[in-house]
Amino acid sequence: MPGGRGYTWVVILIQRVRVRWTADARGAPAANARRGLARAMPLPRALPEGEVVLVLHDVLADQAAGYRHRDGVRAGDVALAREAGLWLGRDQASIVVDRLPGSAAFPRPSASARLFTLAPGQVGRYRANFRFTGCGCDPSWYYEEWLVHVGHGAVASFGQPDRDVDHRVHLYGGASRGDRHG
């Protein structure tokens, strides 16, 4: 586990909101239907208690389910962050958040990338979008937009972040938005 011996992890709260759609929903009317769905969601009232290291609040708004937000909450150690595409490390009292390479067809997966370092009490926000395919034998594509918040310590909600990284790209071609860091 990252962090080494003798280091006690504090509570880390990750909320990943994903919006998923198919190639059939690429046009403007469908884009209007999903506009605003990738937003910070209210946290569940009953978060796990005790000596929890990490809480993952995973939310999906899928076209196939009428874009209704469906969520789940799980608690565990820092290894749970991998399910949200993240790697957590530490730097003294701060946590270091890296993005792991993923299985997206576009943008092409690259090596791990440093997103941000959060001091106790800080919140980071990571935004990205992807194009996926099921396998080489399935020519169908699907798309996801991600909004990921990471709170170092207990947070009541995700408002304005202390760190903001935007890796969204144009998924259908055209000029790139480029990486924007705040």
Looking at residue 50, its pLDDT comes to 61
pLDDT bin (cut points 50, 70, 90) of residue 4 is: very low
Looking at residue 157, its pLDDT comes to 82
Using CA atoms, how far apart are residues 112 and 82, in angstroms rounded to an integer? 12
Question: For residues 99-130, b (16+ Cβ closer than 10 Å) or e, as one string?
Answer: beeeebebbeeeeeeebbbbeeebbbbbbbbb
Q: Which of 100, 134, 94, 93 is nearest to 115 (CA)?
A: 100
Per-residue pLDDT tens digits for 61-116: 999 999 999 999 999 888 899 999 999 999 889 999 999 988 888 877 677 889 99
Model pTM score: 0.85
Looking at residue 6, its pLDDT comes to 47
Per-residue pLDDT tens digits for 57-73: 999 999 999 999 999 99
pLDDT bin (cut points 50, 70, 90) of residue 166 is: very high
Looking at residue 5, its pLDDT comes to 46
Of residues 1 and 37, more confidence is placed in: 37
